[in-house]
Amino acid sequence: MQPSEKRKFGRTGLDVTAFAFGTAPIGNFLREMEDEVADDMIRHAWDAGVRFYDTAPMYGHGLAELRLGHALRWKARDAFVLASKVGRVLHAARRSEIDFAPWSNAAPNRMAFDYSYDGTMRSFEDSLQRLGLERIDMLFIHDIDRFTQGDAQPELFAQAMDGCWRALERLRSEGVVKAIGVGVNEWEVCHQALTMRDFDCFLLAGRYTLLEQDALDAFLPLCEARGAAVLVGGGFNSGILATGAVPGAKYNYAPAPPEIMERVARIEGVCREHDVPLPAAALQFVVAHPAIPSFCAGTRTVEQLEQNLKWFSHPIPAEFWADLKRHGLLRENAPTP
């Protein structure tokens, strides 16, 4: 499997690379990154054939969009696919008045949720200005899940299905963007949105992995039936599928519970039998599903990016996947490479 392999992105008419460059880290997530490092990573991804880039106003309060646009400014615009998000509006403010957490020294903008029609249009136009590029190809409604919104989720979801939907459907119908969808941390929210509205695509963080395949029950079959494409991020379940079952391993941003540690240790045993790196299996499993043309990963260094690209193309024998299923470590109906 090659990171630069071109795949059809559902019914949208877009062709994307199997590996997508995620930009949360270049928004100074958790710690600062020098401009030169961000630029080098984007350049390295480009040189490796990556032509799909995902960003958001949230990432660094606009900093990720600023950096990504700078790095792509003089590339042929038809040579790459660009996704961003709506649902937050940024307002310029003094740095001393901004709570940047979990971002570190990000762009000087306050963020506010806004899932209205007007807020969606403003978010889109502002993103175009920050990127400095002629168009954005796809837009996701960002963070209308319980993970982000808690008890307010039902109300904000309803707002988004009205205001955001009307704005995005207009942008799509007028040909301003080619694809519209939802970007969240829960497949159930994606499924609900697809049953209600005619979305083209979804960005799903961490809910279809070697450890989690419940999305096979209803959401992914519906995507196949409707021609909706899914861009998956968080394929390592926030850490443990990259590090293995080591002390302190993280699962969904918290210490991995004993049952997850035990399951990952068993998967690692099968990996050793076939000389397959665990992270390589985690990355390649995700994009084996016919509704998932691309996997999105963000990195902090060129070295991390190079490692991800190597894992993505590491040869994995078919017997490896068969053994995972034989040991009950992978659902029988889960597509494999």
Q: Give the residue numbers annotated as catalytic, written as ranges.
A: 54, 59, 85
CB of 88 within 8 A of CB of 65? no
**146's tokens:** 């319980």
CB of 119 within 8 A of CB of 89? yes
Cis, bond preceding 257 (omega within 30 deg of 0): no
The position carrying tokens 């949105």 is 193
Closest among 167, 178, 187 to 87, alpha carbons compared: 167
In terms of C-beta density within 10 A (0-12 exposed, 13-18 middle, 19 or more buried), how is residue 115 classed? buried
CA distance 19 to 297: 8
CA distance 38 to 42: 6
CB of 229 within 8 A of CB of 223? yes
Element (H, E) at 282: helix 278-286
